[in-house]
Amino acid sequence: MSVSPVRRLYEALAARYGPQGWWPLASRAGRQGFDSRGYHPGIYGLPGPRERFEVAVGAVLTQNTGWLNAEAALRALSAAKLLTPPALLACHPRRLAGLIRPSGYYNQKARKLRVLAAYLARLAGARVQAPTREGLLALWGIGPETADSILLYAWHVPVPVVDAYTRRLFHRLGWTGEQAGYEELAELCARGLPAEAPVYQELHALVVRHAKEHCRASPVCQGCPLAGRPCRWPREPARS
């Protein structure tokens, strides 16, 4: 049986970059096995039940912004001791919006966080083990990428997570159209890899790492670990 293109991609990126340690847990930053920002390469049993909400909140905060901005907002919520559904719901919406201001769209995100917290609080009250994709997608402000990030990184549900970086990379490799939809990209990942949460976690993180280092909007082709594969972007000439 031949190896799928996605599997070859995964192996090439993993060989170059190694384990990425996503999703970072700021609450454990600096502890054994964690770096100064909470990344934990090679540790896949996280988060625990007390940290799942932290990951879910981070998935909302990182919408339409970079992780550094989301991280700043997350630290503010942690300092205010608001990283549980009851505590966040008890916080006045204006105060909540002010705390998460670094993440951008803070009024909308404050509302999204309250909707998500209420949903997760209801599940906890009913002793439901994990949210469902359908349940998350029914919430205001929660789209497929956010829902799948919550499922994969907070509850270890083996679903692929794709984003704009995935779309760019897969298009340049000639696998999809430039405007490929979320479900098409996710299906391609699911066909090419075993349905295991650590594998999907690493694939998502590795694609992001590669897109930031090489497959940028204006790519840096020299030293690309995917050199030699067909690419829709003209290669940079070798530097002498």
Is 31 part of a structural domain of the chain? no
Residue 228 is predicted with a pLDDT of: 85
Is 27 part of a structural domain of the chain? no
Long-range contacts of 109-114 (CB under 8 A, 24+ apart): 109/60, 109/61, 109/63, 109/141, 111/140, 111/141, 112/60, 112/63, 112/139, 112/140, 112/141, 112/142, 113/57, 113/60, 113/61, 113/88, 114/88, 114/89
Question: Cα separation of 145 and 60, whole Å?
Answer: 10
pLDDT along the chain (240 residues), means of 10: 88 97 93 94 92 97 96 96 98 98 98 98 91 98 98 98 97 94 97 95 98 95 91 59
Domain range for 79 is 46-155
Residue 1 is predicted with a pLDDT of: 56
- Domain of 207: which CATH number? 1.10.1670.10
Instruction: Note whether 111 and 191 are same-domain residues.
Output: no
Question: Cα separation of 83 and 204, whole Å?
Answer: 25
* Helix 52-61 with 106-125: angle, nearest 10 deg: 150
Q: What is the largest CA-CA distance in the chain?
A: 65
Residues in the chain: 240
User: 102, 131, 155: which is the final residue of a domain?
Assistant: 155
Task: Give whole-number Cα distances, 29 to 22, 39, 43, in Å.
Answer: 13, 7, 14
Residue 129 is predicted with a pLDDT of: 85
- Domain of 124: which CATH number? 1.10.340.30
Residue 240 is predicted with a pLDDT of: 37
Instruction: Note whether 115 and 137 are same-domain residues.
Output: yes
Cβ atoms 160, 149 nearer than 8 A: no
Instruction: Note whether 2 and 92 are same-domain residues.
Output: no
* Helix 67-79 with 52-61: angle, nearest 10 deg: 130
Q: What is the token pair recorded at 204? A: 């998502």
Instruction: Note whether 117 and 192 are same-domain residues.
Output: no
User: 134, 155, 176: which is the final residue of a domain?
Assistant: 155
Instruction: Note whether 123 and 176 are same-domain residues.
Output: no
Question: Cα separation of 165 and 127, whole Å?
Answer: 36
User: 106, 132, 155: which is the final residue of a domain?
Assistant: 155
- Counting the structural domains of the chain, the total is 2
Task: Give whole-number Cα distances, 118 to 48, 88, 123, 127, 134, in Å.
Answer: 20, 9, 9, 14, 16
